[in-house]
Amino acid sequence: MPEIAPRVSSTALQAFISKCLEATGMPWADTQTVAALMTQADLMGQDAHGVFRLPMYTRRIRAGGINVTPKISRVQDRTATALVDGDNGLGHLVMYHATQLAMEKAEKSGVAWVGARHSNHAGPASLYAMMPLKKDMIGLYIAVGSANHLPPWGGTEMLLSTNPISVAVPAMNRPPIVPDMVTTVAAYGKVKTAAQRGETMPEGWMMDRSGAPLTDPARAAEGFLLPIGGPKGYGLSLIFGVLAGTLNGAAFGREVVDFNADSTSVTNTGHLVLALDIKAFADPDVFRTGIDAVWDEMKSSPRLPGVEEIRLPGERLHRVTAERSANGIPLPVPFRRQLAKLAAELEIDPL
């Protein structure tokens, strides 16, 4: 029987996160930004990228691995591009800043591409891809993942991360289309979940160093994740890493620090965000209506036996956001205990 996960209101959760961050020495205004974004991740159903990461963030902050008073600066600045140095601040702060900058620049130029370095884990990719939506812009976000989980195709050394990508496109009466995906068949979090539940993984998720399928998640350390489409997913992971990492002077390949295993080394995480102004191509209402039509067309396809409904990327995210905004965010009891322990350590009121 799955464990009961009592609901917490987003307001209460956001207040709790900001109090925790304030207790670590983060300036008040920044705690508001980060807490709002982390709570938004939970509202969106991105359970592995919201408050779930708070204990790890605070551990890193207290160990000196993240700078709570970063001076975020532009080290390069052109009409439609910028390179932001995050001064080892939390990724949410760096990428909120970078995305706002991309939107400002795209307003003037039609498109803008902002890279970031010396950043950290920033939560789910769709958080930043979706920010430009309210300005009638399309958003795109790519990051170098925070730990390497796959080798180059044919190799056995884990030199690449699952480097995620998200793109967000607004509709008129339908939810936005928002793919948010890693470049591997399964995210590493799914392996961990399978291990916790004592389940076997399907063939195709992981391979061991002899090239044989690895289906026992307890043996995960003996193998690596497999990229989508074999060499194609390897190519995507590699190129996303180059664009979000190497180009920005951020970590890539052997430089990547596994931030779960190491609380003190500077990760020098790289990301990129692109904002594209729909008005530079079409009347936004005409475009949005066109996206509604795309939505309806996909939904109207005849279905394979056993398939109840065809889904669009972003549909679940939209439904979960509405449901959790109304009913609160479910937090499993063991995790609530972990948060209570964190509150005690930080000497603040529990959630």
Q: Please give the residues from 240 up to 259 whose contact with a second copy meets the rule CB under 8 A.
A: 241-243, 246-249, 252-254
Burial of 173 (0-12, 13-18, 19+ CB in 10 A): exposed
For residue 173, the 8-state DSSP code is S
Both tokens of residue 76?
A: 């390069």
- Work out whether 167 is an interface residue with a second copy (CB under 8 A): yes
- Work out whether 285 is an interface residue with a second copy (CB under 8 A): no
- Work out whether 213 is an interface residue with a second copy (CB under 8 A): no
One residue of 11, 63, 69, 157 binding a second copy per CB under 8 A? 157
- Work out whether 266 is an interface residue with a second copy (CB under 8 A): no
One residue of 41, 291, 339, 351 binding a second copy per CB under 8 A? 291
Nearer to a second copy, 8 or 251 (CB): 251
CA angle centred on 155, ends 149 and 160, rounded to 5°: 30
Other residues' Cβ atoms within 10 Å of the Cβ of residue 253: 18
What are the strands of the beta sheet with 206-208, ordered from one edge?
A: 213-214, 206-208, 223-225
Please list every residue from 120 through 139 that binds a second copy, using CB under 8 A: 138
- Work out whether 63 is an interface residue with a second copy (CB under 8 A): no
- Work out whether 219 is an interface residue with a second copy (CB under 8 A): no
- Facing residues of 181 across strands? 165
Nearer to a second copy, 32 or 81 (CB): 81
- Work out whether 189 is an interface residue with a second copy (CB under 8 A): no
Nearer to a second copy, 196 or 300 (CB): 300
Residues in the chain, total: 351
- Work out whether 202 is an interface residue with a second copy (CB under 8 A): no
Give dist(CA 83, CA 271) in Å, integer.
10
Give dist(CA 286, CA 307) in Å, integer.
31
One residue of 4, 28, 29, 154 binding a second copy per CB under 8 A? 154
Nearer to a second copy, 80 or 346 (CB): 80
- Work out whether 159 is an interface residue with a second copy (CB under 8 A): yes
Nearer to a second copy, 63 or 310 (CB): 310
Kindly write out the interface string for residues 223-242 of this chain, putting x where it contacts a second copy by CB under 8 A and - elsewhere.
-----xx-xxxxxx-xx-xx
- Work out whether 278 is an interface residue with a second copy (CB under 8 A): yes
Nearer to a second copy, 62 or 316 (CB): 316
Report the run of H or E that residue 286 belongs to, with start and end: helix 284-299
Unique residue bearing structure tokens 């009638």: 136
Please list every residue from 310 through 329 that binds a second copy, using CB under 8 A: 310-313
Kindly write out the interface string for residues 82-121 of this chain, putting x where it contacts a second copy by CB under 8 A and - elsewhere.
-x------------------------xxxxxx-x------
Give dist(CA 180, CA 336) in Å, integer.
27
Question: What pairing do the DSSP bridges indicate for beta strands 206-208 and 213-214?
Answer: antiparallel
- Work out whether 276 is an interface residue with a second copy (CB under 8 A): yes
Contacts of 144 (CB under 8 A, 6+ apart): 161, 163, 240, 241, 244, 245, 250, 251, 252, 256, 269, 270, 271
The amino acid present at 103, given as its one-letter code, is M
- Work out whether 74 is an interface residue with a second copy (CB under 8 A): no
